[in-house]
Amino acid sequence: MDFVAIVMGSKSDYKVMDECVEILKKFDVSYEVVIASAHRSPNRTKEYVKQAEEKGAKVFIAAAGMAAHLAGAVSAMTTKPVIGVPLKGGALDGLDSLLSTVQMPSGVPVATVALGKAGAINSAYLAMQILALSNAELEGKLKEDRVMKAKNVELDSADIEVIL
């Protein structure tokens, strides 16, 4: 079974990553959620990535704050796409997370999305776009979602438009 594997560095990260989970649920995309830290539980992280691949994970989403090495650690262990979600926190309020997630050495890529809630949501959409490369039904759902988003912009504008 194809699914998205969501890995978080700590339980507090779920407050933000729940946004990702809700999007995947909305599109009926299978997922797993685990806590595994690159620093505090590297063996757990390694074992989870291996097990998730064996079960059919096609995309990994890794969310972490502060030093935020989780996405890079996951990427080092798999050739599947890895999406990093930097989370706010610490003395630098997320800048350290962003830089730790986006600055990867060549050959160990991590697709990095925005900090926080927007990143959590976009990580779900990016994972689904990757899955949709081989899933026409999911591709159709994503296209319909885009059409609805465009219609919502028009409806929002109609509520306040003033055109001369």
Q: Specify binding-site residues for substrate.
A: 10, 13, 40
- Residues 23 and 55: their CA atoms lie apart, in Å, by 22
Binding site, by residue number, is 10, 13, 40
Element at 6 (helix H, strand E): strand 3-8
User: Which among 27, 32, 37 has a CA at the least distance from the CA of 4?
Assistant: 32
**Helix/strand/coil percent split, the chain, to 5:** 55, 15, 30
91 secondary structure, DSSP code: T
Beta bridge partners of 4: 31, 59
Burial of 161 (0-12, 13-18, 19+ CB in 10 A): exposed
Q: What is the amino acid identity at position 27?
A: F
